[in-house]
Every structure is written in C-alpha cells, then in structure tokens.
Structure 1
C-alpha cells in the first residue's frame, strides 16, 4: 500500500519495491515505475498501483466426466503482471489520490478471469475421459491442458498477465461415488490382510505340527532308548544272576568239599579218639583186673558221688541208714559167699 503524505493542496507519494505505480494527470502519464516518490495534486491526478510480485490464487470448480460423473477440481495458479501499464488500462487498480486507499476490484477481476479460463480448459479435458481415467491420470492431463491453454490465451496477453505455474492438487468425485470407488480397494486390502492372517495361521499350524512331530520323534526315540535300556538291564541282570549262580555253585562246591574234608577229618579224629578211649578203657580194665569187689564198689560209689548234683541238705534217718547198711553189707556178704563158692 502506498504511503501518501497530505499537505494543503498537495500530496506526496512514496511507493514500495513490489508495486508499480502509474500517475496520470489530465490523461497524460506523469510518473510510472516501481519504488517512485513524487509530488502531485489530488484534484488533477489519477493513481494506479499494481503488484508486480508473484501471486497465487486457489481455484475450486466442478466438471463432468464422459460417463456423466461430477468431480471437484482443486488447483493453484501462480501469476504476475508482466506489463503493469497495460494491465492498468484493462483492470481497475486505482488508488484514492487523497487518502491512498486502494481498491480490490482489479485482483478480483484477475481471479475471475484465471478461474474461468482454467476451468474451461480443465472441463474440456475431463469431459473426454471416464471417471476412472480422470481420477488416475486426470491430474497430469488437467495440469498440462491448463498450462498450455493459458499460455496461448490472448486475453491474458492483452491484459498484461503471465501465468508462471499451474498445480492441480486434487480431482475428487462425489462422496457416495468416492466411497463406492474405495470399496474394491478396501476389499482388496482386506483380502490381502485376511490372506496374510491365513498365511500366518497356516505357518503357525505348520510350526505347531513340526513341533508336535519333533516331540513325537523325541518320544519315539526316548521309548526306543528305554526299550534298549530294559533289554540291556535284563541282559545285565541275567549276566549278574549267572555270575551269582556260578559264584554260589563255586561256593557250594567249596563248602561241600570243605564239609567233606571236615567230616573226614572229624571221622578220623573220632575214630582216633574212640580208639584212644578204647585203649584207655582196656588199660583201666586191665588195671582193675584182680582187684577186690569191695574196692571196685567203693570206686564206683566215688565216681557216682562225683557225678551227682550238689545236695544242699540231706536228712539221714536211722531207718534209711539201717536199710542202706543192711543192703550194703548184705550184698557184700553175698558176694563173698559167691566168691568162696
């Protein structure tokens, strides 16, 4: 916006480096350029100020495809005033010479012109393509058509406008059509997700089966080894039993032989003892040969007394003593008489 200083009957204008000012007085150009500073009379002066920097406008319009589907096109145009003096003669960029207030009618006109021209070229392209092609390839084709079309527009050349760039941001169908178009892709994505889930489950099942087979193989291997262990333990037990039986047989044989040797030795010893005792008895009998009966009786009583058990108390009555003496002496007398005979 211009900086205007107000003085009585006169004004001072100071421009900016991004705006082109045109000063007319009585229909004649007095000052024209960028960044100017000058004095003027407000009653006889006409001021126009145009931006010479790059400007962008957002375009939003609707078009219809060859299969009668409405689409919304969003684009951005970058433009500049290549000939500000020519543009000032075609568009309204006037500035109040008294207050410096600028009108926006010129930029509104530029926006309308660019929108209509861009929409016309875009509609021509989209009208010849079905909806699917417009959505997939329409961005590039529409951008190229707008760029080429605006470059050759005589209206822009005569207005002093230059389009620097075109960007088509999106081409979107109506909401229900867009949802319908998204459904196959969503279903395909869901199908891929389901397939991935099934593959993962199948992989998990295969892994579980492999684990189960491995466990079963381990059990079979363990059972086989246990069977081999049982067989080996049985063989070891039989070998131990055989060895123990052989050892017992050896011990029994040795014991039998030892018993036999002991028996033979005992029998020989007993025979020797019996023979010795017989010899002793014969010697004793030979020693008693010719000895008186009374002496033999006394010796027998002595041996009997030695072999009798201990008697704590003995009561001898006259009757018992008389009877015993009678039997003793009676027996001795009878023996003497028989000897005399």
Structure 2
C-alpha cells in the first residue's frame, strides 16, 4: 500500500520498490514505474498500484478419484504480475488518493482465477486415477498437470500474470479411509515386529541352550578330571603303601639282622664271660683246695664282714661271750685247743 501524505492541498505519494505505480492526470500518463515518489492533486489524479513481487497463494480443495473416493488437495502457487500496465488495464488496481488503499480487491480476483484454474486441472487428473495410485504417485502428477494447465491458460498472460512455481503439499483421503489404508501397513509392521521379537527370542533360547550345553560339557569335563584325580590319588596311595611296605620290610629285615647280630654278639660275650668266670672260679677253687681250714674260716669271716651291714655298736651278753670263748678255746681254736678258764 502506498504512503500518501497531505500538505497544503497537495498530496505526496511514496511507493515501495515492489509496487508499480501509474499516475494519470486528465487521462494522460504522468508517472509510471516501481518505487516512485511524487506530488499530485487529488482532484485531477488517477492512481493505480500494482504489486510486482512474488506472492504465495495457498489453496485447498476436494476432488474425487476414479473409485469414487473423496480426497483433499493442498497446494501452493507462486505467481507475480510481470506486466503491471496490462494488469492495471484488466483489473481494478486503483487506489484512493487520500488513503492509498485499493478501491477494489484485485488480489482476490487473481486468487480466484488461479485457484479455479488449478482446481480444474487437478480434478481432471484425479478423476481418472484410483485412490491408491493417487496417494502413491498423485503428488507429482497433480503438480505437473497444474503447472502445465496454468502455463497454457490464456487468461493469465492476458492479465499480465506469470506463474513462477507450483507445489503440491499433500493429497489426503478422508480420515476413515486413511485409517483403513493404514491398517494393512500397520499390520505388516506389527507382523515384522512380532517376527523380529520371535527371532530375538529364538536367538535368546538358542544362546541359552548353547550356554547350558557349555555348562554341562564343563561339568562332564570336571567330573572326568575328578575321576582321573581320584584314580591318580588311589594309584599314588597304593604306590606309597607299596613303597612304605617295602621300606618297612627292609627296615624290619635290617632290624632283625641287627637283632640277630646283637644276640650273637651277646651270646658270644656271655659265653666268653662264662668261660672266663668258670676259669676264674676253677682257679679260685684250685687255690682254696690247697689252703687249710683255718685260713678258709678266716677268709669266710672276712668275706662275711665285707658283706655285713654297718654296725655302730655291739652288745654281748654273758651267755654269748661264754659260748664264744668256749668255742675259741676248744680244739682247733686259736689257743691251741686249751679250754678257757672262767
């Protein structure tokens, strides 16, 4: 929208660079171009402002496919007015000289023209396409058909309008149909998920079985080695017992041999000692056989005295002393056989 300022009965217009302004005064074109700024009189001026920038027109409409299914089309058309003079001549782009506001609604007319043209071509292509194909490849087909239709539409160049681009955002069926169409895909996805779950469980079971088999194999191997260990321990114990028995036998044999040798040595020593004692006894007897009885008695008393215990004191009664003196004074006594006198 142009910026118009009033000063002392004059008006000053200042337009944006994206707006093409046409100023007629008394039927003659005075100013024509984008981004103009000039003074004018409101009573003699006829002003038109045509936007020349790219504009986006969003449209949404319903169509019917070949299998009688309702489908909504969401598209966007980018256009611009390439011929401002032509557009100003065909459409009402005149502005109020006091406010700079359009007197009519030219952009709405352009939007209606583009929407109806695009909708006509979209309906034409979707009416011969089934719903499944439209949802799969319909976006490209509808976009191409709308682009070709708008390019070939004669009213657009005649109005000074140029179509820059066409974009089809979405083709959507009714909510119930969309949910029904999603069901097979969801079921397939669920089946794939279930299959993945079953495969994962199968793999887990297989791994658990492998682990159990490994544990069982480990236990069997451990039991086998324990059996070998027990057998080896038995063999070692038996060998140790045999070695101990052999050592005991050798030790017993050596002990018996030593005992026999000791017995023989003791017997030999005893025999030699007996022979020595017998020789000494025989010699002693031979020596005493030549000695008289008095000497033998004296030797006997001496030996008896040697073997008697220690006597600290001796008490002799008269009877004992009389008898002893009688024996000493008798025949064979030390006094030569004279009787002792009282």
Q: 1:120 to 1:325 in 2, by over 3 A?
A: farther
Which residue of 2 is the match for residue 226 of structure 1? 226
SS in 2 for 1:97: coil
Q: Which moved more, 1:209-218 or 1:316-325?
A: 316-325
For residue 141 of structure 1, report the CA deviation from its aligned partner.
0.9
For residue 183 of structure 1, report the CA deviation from its aligned partner.
2.4
Which residue of 2 is the match for residue 337 of structure 1? none
Distance of 1:314 and 1:187 partners within structure 2: 141
SS in 1 for 2:62: strand
2:259 aligned with 1:259: yes
Which residue of 2 is the match for residue 2 of structure 1? 2
SS in 1 for 2:92: coil
Distance of 2:327 and 2:210 partners within structure 1: 120
Which residue of 2 is the match for residue 123 of structure 1? 123
Q: 1:244 to 1:3 in 2, by over 3 A?
A: same
For residue 311 of structure 1, report the CA deviation from its aligned partner.
6.9
SS in 1 for 2:61: strand
Which residue of 1 is the match for residue 338 of structure 2? none
SS in 1 for 2:129: coil
Q: 1:212 to 1:123 in 2, by over 3 A?
A: same
How large is the Cα RMSD of the aligned pairs? 2.9
Distance of 2:318 and 2:230 partners within structure 1: 91
For residue 28 of structure 1, report the CA deviation from its aligned partner.
4.2
For residue 53 of structure 1, report the CA deviation from its aligned partner.
0.9
Distance of 1:47 and 1:227 partners within structure 2: 114
2:86 aligned with 1:86: yes
TM-score when normalising by structure 1: 0.85
Q: Deviation digits for residues 74-132 of structure 1, max 9, x if unmatched? A: 11110011211221222222210123223461111111221111111112222222222
Q: 1:324 to 1:294 in 2, by over 3 A?
A: farther
Distance of 1:146 and 1:333 partners within structure 2: 190
Q: Deviation digits for residues 296-333 of structure 1, max 9, x if unmatched? A: 4554455455456x57889868599589969x959x98
Which residue of 2 is the match for residue 247 of structure 1? 247
Which residue of 2 is the match for residue 55 of structure 1? 55
Q: Deviation digits for residues 224-273 of structure 1, max 9, x if unmatched? A: 22222222222222222222222222222222221111111111111000
Distance of 2:179 and 2:85 partners within structure 1: 50
For residue 295 of structure 1, report the CA deviation from its aligned partner.
4.6
Which residue of 1 is the match for residue 169 of structure 2? 169
Q: Which moved more, 1:217-226 or 1:87-96?
A: 217-226
Which residue of 2 is the match for residue 110 of structure 1? 110
Distance of 1:245 and 1:20 partners within structure 2: 130
Which residue of 1 is the match for residue 268 of structure 2? 268
Q: 1:67 to 1:303 in 2, by over 3 A?
A: farther
SS in 2 for 1:95: coil
Q: Which moved more, 1:176-185 or 1:299-308?
A: 299-308
SS in 1 for 2:171: strand
Q: 1:315 to 1:179 in 2, by over 3 A?
A: farther
Q: 1:245 to 1:148 in 2, by over 3 A?
A: same
Structure 2: any 5+ residue segments left out of the alignment?
A: 333-342
Which residue of 2 is the match for residue 183 of structure 1? 183
Q: 1:316 to 1:94 in 2, by over 3 A?
A: farther
Aligned pair count reads 331
Q: Which moved more, 1:19-28 or 1:311-320?
A: 311-320
Distance of 1:103 and 1:312 partners within structure 2: 179
SS in 1 for 2:100: coil
Q: Which moved more, 1:7-16 or 1:280-289?
A: 7-16
Structure 1: any 5+ residue segments left out of the alignment?
A: 335-341
Q: 1:282 to 1:36 in 2, by over 3 A?
A: same
Distance of 2:316 and 2:172 partners within structure 1: 159
